[in-house]
Structure 1
C-alpha cells in the first residue's frame, strides 16, 4: 500500500504539468494505428443471467442479492489459448477485455478487494493472468477495459442516473473511491500481467447531458483524470489511454474512441462531433449486445464485419469488434464462425487495411480510400456505381496508375480539373469490397 500511495503522490505532482507522451508511447500510438482491428470482450458474473452487462441496473438487483452471483460463476470451459486463436484467425491484432465493469466485480486476483474472481467464485483462477500470458506468447497485445462507474462500491457517491435502486447507502467518500480505483489499476499495471497495451475507460453514464450542448456531457464531477492518467503512464509509459466519455479528449489521453458509430457520425446519439488528431477507434458489437444475451440472435454477417472494418479504416480509425462469451467461458460458435470468415477476407486483402491511414479521398457514397505512405492508395468500392465509371471530385494528387487489387488489371482513367474518372468496363465487382490499387506521382 505504501508503494501505491507513493505512486499517487508522484502522479499528483506530475498532473500540474502539461502531458508530454513518452517516446515509447508515441511508438505505441503508431503501432495502434497500424493494427487497425481488435477483439472486444465483455465478460463477467453478469453473463450468468444472460441479459447483458447492465443487468444489475436494468433489473434493479440490489447489492446483497447481486453478490450471490459469483458463487455460481465457474467458467470451466474458459481457454485463453482458444480465445487468442479466435482473435488471430480473425486477423485481429489486439484484445480489449473487461477487467472491471459497472458491477464492480474484478476479473483478476485483486488484493484490495475480495470481490474478485479468485476469492469470490468456485472457479478461483485469474483469467486476466491466463489471457495476458497467452497474448504475450502469441504476439497479441492486451488492453484492459476498466469502468469508472461502480454500482457495488458504497463510496461511489453522489448517485447519478444509474444504479439508484440497488440498496447502497446515501453517503460515501468519492475521493476514497477514486483512490481505490487507482489502487486496482496499479495492480493491473505493476508487472504481473506483463506489458499492457492500454486502459479503455468507460462509465460516465451517470452524468446528465447538458441541454445546451447536446453532444457534450457535463464534466462537473472531478474524476481527477490527470492523477489517474499520470499514474498509468508512470507505471507503463507505453500504455495507451482512451476514455469512452463521448466528449473531446482530455489531456493525458492517447486515443479517441467512438461508440457504435464511425468517426463523424452520431446515429446512436453517444458521440461528439469533434474528431481529434489522436489515433481513432470505433467499437461495435457482433450481435446486438455487449455482454452475453441468451436471446440475442442479431448476428452481423462476415460481409457486414468487413464493410464496417473498411469504413473505419477509410476514416483513419480502428475497429474494436465485441463478443460476449457465455458464462461457461466459451465464445459462441456463431461469433467464431463469422469472425473466421471475415479473417479469410483479411488474409487476401489485409495489405489494404493494416498499416494504412485515411486516404486521399474522403468517404464517398460509393466507399472510402486508404493509403500507405505517400504514393500507394487503395479505393474501396463498397457500393457499385450506377455508371460504368467511378467519378471522384477534387482529387488534386497527380495519378500515375490505377489497377484492380485482385488480378492487377490496369484500368483506364482520366484526370480533369473537376475530378478523376476511373473506367470500370470489363472488371467484375465484389459485393463485399471491390479494391482498386492507385499510385500517385
Structure 2
C-alpha cells in the first residue's frame, strides 16, 4: 500500500469511526457516552514520513539552469510557444550554441543564503531546486556527465551544495526536482514530453539519483517530472530514493502510482478538500517557470499587487484543503531573483506576519468549504479566510460549529465582531469593508479545541445524538 493510500484510509477511519459510534444501538451495560460532536481539525497523517512532509506546508520552487540565461529569447527572437525552460527544444538551439551560452554563464549574482532567506521570509519552510531539467544540463558537480555547471561554466560552483548548506543553516528544508527525460540521450518532443525511457537510460538515471541522494544531506522531497516510464521503471526510481533516503517523499510524476503524494497539473489549485497527501505547484508567472522577459510577464506594480493577493489566497486555499503549496520563482541567468518575484514573496511574508497562525502550523478543518471562503484550525481557534466579502458587510455562516465561542475578532487585532448561534451555525456579522486587502482573516476563539457537528444532526436536552433522515 502506498503512503498516500495509508493516509487516505487513516482519515476515512477517523470520520467513519465517529459516524459508526453515533449510529450504533445503545448498549444496556455499560451505557455509551453520547456523542454530539468530534474534533474539527483534520489530524496529521499517522505515517511519520508523510506527517513530517505535511508539516512543511509551503515551499519555494526554483527553476534555474542554463535556460535561465535566455529569458525566453534566442538570437533576438521571442519564444512564442512552450515554457522558457524548454527553449532549447522549442527554438531548435544547437547543442554547440547551448554550450556557448554555458561558457558565458558566470552567475555572478547567485547568493544561496539570499535565496533561502527570500523563501523563509515569505513563510516557506523549504526550497526545491531543479537539479536537471529536460535539457539534461546537470546543475551539480556530477561524475555522470561533463555536461554540467561545474565543468562547462565560468561559474564553476555546485549550487546544490551551496543551497542545501545555506537553507539548513537557516532552519529550512531542501528538496530537488529531477527530469526523467534527458535531451542529451533522447529526441526532444516538447509538446507532451512523454518520451518512453529505454532500459539503457536507467543506470544513468540511477547513478545521478544516487549522487543527489548521497552528497547533499537530507532531502525532503524528490520531484520527478515528465517522461513515460514503465511501471517497473517507476518502481525502480521510487525504490532508489527510498532505499537511500527512506524519509524522502516522492511526487506522483514518478508515474504509475508509485509516488507518495499527488501533484496534479501545473498551476492547479484544487478547490475541494482532498484526503491523500497532495501538493499544488504554481508559478508566479504561470507560463514561465524558468526566467522570462516576455511582454506577457507583466512586472508592473499593479501586477505585483494582484499576484501577491492571488498567491496568498491560493496558499490559504491549499492549506485549508489538506495540501502543501509549492510556489515557483525563476531567477535570472546571473543568479538574482528579480525584484518583481522577490516582491511577491515579500508580500506573502507580510501577510503571514499579520496572520501568523492562519497557515503556519494550522490544520485543515472538517467544516468544509463555504461560499465566502475557507477555514483552518490552530490550537483553540478557527481562522476564517474570507475571500468573498459580503458587499457592504453582512453575515457569514460557519455550519457545524459545536464548540462554545469565547470571542470572534478580526485576526491580528482586538476588534470584536458580533456573532450568534443559529442551530448548528455560527453566524458572524462582518463590517462594511474587508479587514485585509489581500485576504481578510477572522479568528474564532473557542473553549477548547474546536469541535464540529455534522449537518442534519441534533442533540436533545438529555444529550442524545440523532441524525435526521436523508442526512
TM-score for the superposition, normalised by structure 1: 0.79
Give the match's secondary structure for 1:283: strand
1:314-341 deviation digits (Å, cap 9, x = unpaired): 2222221111111111111222222123
Alignment of 1:45-84 (within 5 A): 45-51=66-72, 52-84=84-116
**2:375–2:383 contact (8 Å) kept in structure 1:** yes
User: Are the counterparts in 1 of residues 251 and 259 from structure 2 also a CA contact under 8 Å?
Assistant: no
Judged with a 3 Å threshold, the aligned counterparts in structure 2 of structure 1 residues 66 and 388 are, in CA distance, closer, same or farther, namely closer
SS of equivalent to 2:150: coil
| Residue 29 (structure 1) shift | 2.5
Q: Which ranges of structure 1 fall in alignment gaps of 5 or more residues?
A: 1-17, 165-170, 208-218, 266-274
2:41 equivalent to 1:43: no
| 8 Å CA contact 1:84, 1:140 repeated in 2 | yes
CA distance in 1 between partners of 2:398 and 2:166 (Å): 48
Question: Is 1:290–2:289 an aligned residue pair?
Answer: yes
Please tell me whether the aligned partners of residues 189 and 236 of structure 1 are also in contact (alpha carbons under 8 angstroms). yes
The number of equivalent residue pairs is 389
Instruction: Answer yes or no: is the 8 Å Cα contact 1:367–1:379 preserved in 2.
Output: yes
1:100-135 per-position Cα deviation (integer Å, ceiling 9, x unaligned): 101111100111111111112222111111111111
Which residue is equivalent to 2:226? 203
The match for 1:377 is 382
Asked if 1:30 is matched to 2:31, the reply is no
Deviations 1:244-289 (A, max 9, x none): 47x8x82442454552111258xxxxxxxxx763322212112341
Within-5 A mapping of 1:41-440: 41-51=62-72, 52-154=84-186, 161=191, 174-190=198-214, 192-204=215-227, 221-222=230-231, 224-244=233-253, 250-254=257-261, 256-264=263-271, 277-288=275-286, 289-295=288-294, 296-298=297-299, 299-301=303-305, 302-372=308-378, 375-386=380-391, 388-392=393-397, 394-395=399-400, 397-404=402-409, 405-417=411-423, 419-425=425-431, 429-438=435-444, 439=446, 440=450
Residue pair 1:283, 1:322 contacting (<8 A) in 2 also: yes
Displacement, 1:176? 1.6
Q: 1:251 and 1:114 mapped to 2: Cα distance?
A: 31
Task: Give the CA deviation at 1:391.
Answer: 3.2
Q: 1:333 to 1:426 in 2, by over 3 A?
A: closer
Contact between 2:89 and 2:190, CA under 8 Å: does it hold in 1?
A: no
CA-atom RMSD in angstroms: 3.1
Contact 2:144 2:208 in 1 (8 A): yes
CA separation of 1:425/1:79 partners in 2, compared to 1, >3 Å: closer, same or farther?
A: closer
CA change 1:65–1:284 in 2 (3 A) is same
Secondary structure of 2:52's match? helix
Query: Relative to structure 1, is the Cα distance of residues 312 and 128 closer, same or farther in structure 2, using a 3 angstrom cutoff?
Result: same
